[in-house]
Amino acid sequence: MAHNRKISVVGLGYVGLPVAVAFGKLAQVVGFDINAARVAALKAGHDSTLEVQDADLAQADILFTTDPKDLKAADFHIVAVPTPVDEAKRPDLTPVIKASETVGSQLKAGDIVVYESTVYPGATEEDCVPVLEKLSGLKAGRDFTVGFSPERINPGDHVHRFTTITKVVSGQDARTLDIVAEVYSSVVKAGVHRAPTIKVAEAAKVIENTQRDLNIALMNELALIFDKMGIDTLDVLAAAGTKWNFLPFRPGLVGGHCIGVDPYYLTHKASVLGYIPQVILSGRRINDGMGAYVAGQVVKRLIQTGNQVRGSRVTILGLTFKEDVPDLRNTRVIDIVKELQDYGVLVQVHDPMASPAEAHEEYGVHLVPREQLAPAHAVVLAVAHQPYLKEGWGLITSLLDGGKGVVADVKGVLPRDRVPEGVALWRL
């Protein structure tokens, strides 16, 4: 590579692995992760997240390792670990701090550390740099420097990829910015955008997803209003969408590792600085309540169709946070599950993409194989996986007791002109 930098990537998940593979097609990359099982699977040539195809993985020269000492071979370290929120919706910087400790313990004079993990503005320099300095005994700005280049990975999206999305880059000083831009430009075909400061780059990332979160929150609030009016929300959006500048957002569950999480990083920092956000937190409350709302609509229609709620059986199709990915992080489908269970409903969940072991470990949910699903009084199509769409109404009626019952189409994907007789359809 023209920049002559040896790359390491710390964290080989949905974000880090595509980055490592892109650089690994040009020169050897050190790929580090603390998850030994994950590293073993990658060494065997398969990515369980399905973000990287086996053929692409085979083409990349990556030293997969769990040994921090291997990071010494690199001088340009990219940190791409998760940054979740805790149960109180407060930023949990534990993974990025632990990653900083790992990198710091191997840091050398002249190294550059670039963070891709989503954080609030100021976190790189205020929270991470002190850790790097403490563990390395080196001084930032003198012995080593840092940068920030926010990830823009969209799980399951095979069009907008790491190499085809404009990369925002930033650096602690002008020289570092030049190097960071040069390094990423070697693999990102879409080019780079140089942010003037690290804080600007950090802020750009959190508002990208905050903007999307708020737009979806508006659609969800409209869905709540239109339901009371007896109007189909998607019909309204189809009509309004004929205007050239109407934005094509739709109501739905907002989960995942970005949209449902990033706004809390911004609002947390704002609160620390003495400003209590109004609009952002209002949108978050609406979106966080949609799972319970869907469950309530299912219960209402069970009652309307003459079913006893307690002891009724409901089959939920899909548990992942979005269609056609195995990613269960921050899925809001779990809110539907828990709310229905609180009503005394017997809930069974099916998902062809999700890992049964992960579903049980993360949420205590037992994924039921399709052939073992008992006839249900209601079916909730929560995630529009392709296998579900392919079978359509045939699948839905086969899961209902006697082919009749309540159907909640959360994504609005089932054809309304072919609703089977005996089916009470509701859609968000």
pLDDT tens for residues 93-112? 999 999 999 999 999 999 99
Give the pair of three-digit tokens for residue 23. 């650089």
User: Per the structure block, which two tokens stand in for 1?
Assistant: 């590579």
3-state secondary structure of 196: coil
Neighbours of 249 (CB within 10 A): 17
Q: How far apart are CA 291 and CA 350, in angstroms?
A: 17
pLDDT value for 258: 84
User: Cα–Cα distance between 372 and 322 in angstroms, integer?
Assistant: 24
Contact 31, 42 (CB under 8 A): yes
pTM higher than 0.75: yes
Only one residue has tokens 């205590």, namely: 364
Residue 426: the pLDDT is 96
315 - beta bridge partners? 348, 379
pLDDT digits (tens, 9 = 90+) for 361-398: 999 999 999 999 999 999 999 999 999 999 999 999 99
Which segments of 273-392 does DSSP mark as H helices, in order?
A: 279-288, 290-304, 333-342, 356-363, 386-391
Look at residue 2 in the predicted model and tell me its pLDDT: 64
Q: Which residues have CB under 8 Å from 8's CB, separation 6+?
A: 29, 30, 31, 32, 70, 71, 73, 74, 76, 77, 78
Lowest mean pLDDT among 2-6, 169-173, 359-363: 2-6
62, containing H or E segment: strand 62-65
pLDDT band with cut points at 50, 70 and 90 for residue 1: low
Residue 75 and residue 109: Cα distance in Å, rounded? 9
Task: Give catalytic residue positions.
Answer: 258
